[in-house]
Structure 1
Amino acid sequence: MTFSILTDSTADLQEDWAAAHQIDLIGLTINLDGKTYETVGPDRLDSESLLEKMKQGAKPTTSQINVGEFEAYFRQQVQSNQPVLYIAFSSVLSGTYQSAMIARELVLEDFPEARIDIVDTLAAAGGEGFLVIKAAEAREAGKSLEETKQMILDLLPRLRTYFLVDDLNHLMRGGRLSKTSAIVGNIVNIKPLLWIDASGKLVPLAKVRGRKKGIKEMLKQATSDIQDPTAVVAYSNDEQSAQSLKEELLSNGEIQEVIILPLGPVISAHVGPDTLAVFVIGKDGRQ
């Protein structure tokens, strides 16, 4: 292995897949009912348990990865003469990226020749995971760290992220969506379709009445500008709708493969139950 690839639990990649492809994972934590839960490892909180508690009224919060955790990982890799490429959760949505940057500087003070590259994806969930999958494929094809990083930097401005959320109050409570957008969305069954814009902000893209029309509009938006033949579908506790989305995307003709990734606990804590999302690579950059 020519270099290490690190990502965080917000990429929503299955741990067995990550292990098989030698992807290192580091986890944010979730605070729920007075307890702190890990999101990586054998004792991690699973999304199903979290979502069930949210249906019963629980209001979880999430905490970013701290500087010390990143520093420990970077030092271990550097001491093993292993370059690192960290593909990070959006800096707009979490302080995790900043923690990694601080840790990098601390390690480079002691090991100035070390190679620790950090990419702010301005993405989350399956979008972030999509980029990690691409990085793993590049490394397996023999690409260098620099070549892999440049490929990711080329892809990420063209990464399209579409979220259809059943209850916008979860995003408002976590500070990921404005109060005005959430209130408008919850009036008379209006379902705003959200996306991540060029600056990394989660903002309303379209407003439709009802979930079925929301899914139809999400498909329309997702297939309007496609360059890569692979798409990612993500969901929280609605696998049937995710499978239906997959079939619809495959029938488009331009998409040849659809990867389904269940939303992990960190993202689920912010979007809540019955969320669907689609991620594609477009031809042009996000606006």
Structure 2
Amino acid sequence: MTAFFCDTNCELNYKTAAELGIRNVIRMPYTICDKEYFYDLGEHYDAKWFFNLVREGNVPITSALNAEDYKSYFEPYYQKGEDIFYVSFSSEMSGTFNYMEMAIKELSQKYPGVKFTRYDTRAISMAAGIQVAAAAKLFNEGKSVEEIVAFLDNLSSRVNAFVVVDDLNHLKRGGRITAVKAAIGSVLQLKPVIKLTQQGKLSPVATVRGRNQALKSIVDETIATATDLDKYPIVILNGDCKEEAVRVADRIQAALPGAKILHYDIGPVIGTHCGPGTIAICFVGGERPSVEA
């Protein structure tokens, strides 16, 4: 037997995960107001509460799970002799996978014969979630891990994420842009358009004057490049700016009437790095840009 795993950085809603039969979800930690929480795919998470705290000046932080944390998730299956298939967010975005590898090395020595497979989606948020959902459906159909990996290899590079952040200071704090660029950009109302790259990073690939123009640019490119609308949804995520997200969705729906559009809140782990007012669009389309962040 094989156990299927994902993590909360895929940002699937907990109800969707349950519908897909995903029972093993690795919860990623965040801290705000000196209290640590573990994201649960929205089951007990209030996006308005989180982003209002950020607006009030509270600075959230994220941290990596350690080897013992990973062992607590995986060891019960090693003990039963079950293989593990873990579809994860991008290893380029966190050092947590170094600790995971330490845990797997120890568990593999303790329980020889168990096969552990991790598929790196080279994505985050619902760009990873689209891949997790596709993998879970194939898993439920009885496809082998090897078959699912081959399928994801053909899909992954075409799962895109376009992001517009409202406050550049969040990007500065995360090292995405320099303090000078953040200061100048804030004064001039310059908004970076961020895209998920082939390398599995989030990279500012363009700068647009004004938020409306930045949003228009990602909407227009989504409309121009989205494919496979009969198979995959277009997912719009928002950092407590739902009304604006609905307007973005309406423009896409008018141009692509056959598209299934889903709305999700940005979770607290990813929200830590992008802040309130963020709009992201995740969808299957053309090949991601190959840009080193």
Fold match by TM threshold 0.5: yes
Unaligned runs of 5+ in 2: none
Matches for 1:156-235 after TM superposition, within 5 Å: 156-179=156-179, 181-229=181-229, 230-235=233-238
Aligned to 2:131: 131
Equivalent pairs, count = 286
Cα pair distance change 1:140/1:241, threshold 3 Å: farther
Matched, 1:236 2:235: no
Partner residue of 2:267 out of 264, 269, 275 = 264
Identity of aligned pairs, percent? 27
Deviations 1:53-77 (A, max 9, x none): 1110111110122211212222212
Residue 77 of structure 2 aligns with which residue? 77
- Report how far residue 21 of structure 1 moved: 2.0
Instruction: Find the aligned partners of 1:254 and 1:209 in 2 and give their Cα distance.
Output: 29
2:255 is matched by which residue type in structure 1?
N
Give the equivalent residue in structure 2 for 1:14: 13
Q: Cα 1:101–1:150, aligned 2, differ >3 Å: closer, same or farther?
A: farther
CA separation of 1:43 and 1:243: change in aligned 2, threshold 3 A:
closer
Q: TM-score, normalized by length of structure 2?
A: 0.88
Q: Which residue matches 1:146?
A: 146
The worse-fitting range, judged by mean Cα deviation, of 49-58 and 177-186 is 177-186
The CA deviation at 1:189 is: 0.9
Q: Between 274-283 and 241-250, report the one with greater CA deviation.
A: 241-250
1:9 aligned partner, one-letter code:
T
Given that residues 42 and 267 in structure 2 are in contact (C-alpha distance below 8 angstroms), is that contact kept between their aligned partners in structure 1?
Answer: no
CA contact (8 A) 1:166 1:191 kept: yes
Please give the secondary structure, in 2, of the residue aligned with 1:13.
coil
Distance 1:151 1:43 in 2: 30
Aligned to 2:287: 284
User: Does the aligned pair in 2 maintain the 1:160–1:222 contact within 8 Å?
Assistant: no
Query: What are structure 1's unaligned runs of at least 5 residues?
Result: none
For the aligned residue pairs, the C-alpha RMSD in angstroms reads 2.3
The letter for the 2-side match of 1:12 is: E
Letter in 1 for 2:86: Y
| Contact 2:8–2:41 (8 Å) recurs in 1 | no
Note the C-alpha offset of 1:185: 3.2
Are the counterparts in 2 of residues 228 and 280 from structure 1 also a CA contact under 8 Å?
Answer: no
Query: Cα distance, 1:224 vs. partner?
Result: 3.1
Using the TM superposition, give the Cα deviation of residue 223 of structure 1 relative to its aligned residue in structure 2, in angstroms: 3.0
Aligned equivalent of 2:48: 48
Distance 2:113 2:275 in 1: 44
Give the whole-Å Cα distance in 2 for the aligned partners of 1:144 and 1:37.
35
Measure, in 2, the Cα distance between the counterparts of 1:145 and 1:90: 19
User: Which secondary structure state, in structure 2, belongs to the residue aligned with residue 224 of structure 1?
Assistant: helix
1:36 maps to: 36
Is 1:30–1:266's contact at 8 Å kept on the other side of the alignment? Answer: yes
- Structure-2 change in CA distance of 1:159 and 1:272 (3 Å): same
**Offset at residue 251 of structure 1 (A):** 3.0
Separation in 1 of the partners of 2:284 and 2:181? 26
Structure 2 counterpart SS, 1:65:
coil
Q: Deviations over 1:179-198 (max 9, x none)?
A: 45534532311111111222
Task: Quickly say closer, same or farther: Cα 1:131–1:41, change in 2 above 3 A.
Answer: closer
Query: Counterpart of 2:10 in structure 1: which amino acid?
Result: A
For 2:92 and 2:40, the matched residues in 1 are separated by 22
Alpha-carbon distance in 2 for matches of 1:191, 1:77: 46
Secondary structure of residue in 1 paired with 2:244: helix
Which one-letter code corresponds to 1:284 in the other structure? Answer: E
* Conserved? CA contact 2:26–2:73, under 8 Å: no
1:102/1:249 CA distance change after superposition, 3 Å: farther
Measured in 1, the distance between the counterparts of 2:132 and 2:43 equals 24
Deviation by residue 1:5-30 (Cα, 9 ceiling, x = unmatched): 21222111222322232222111211
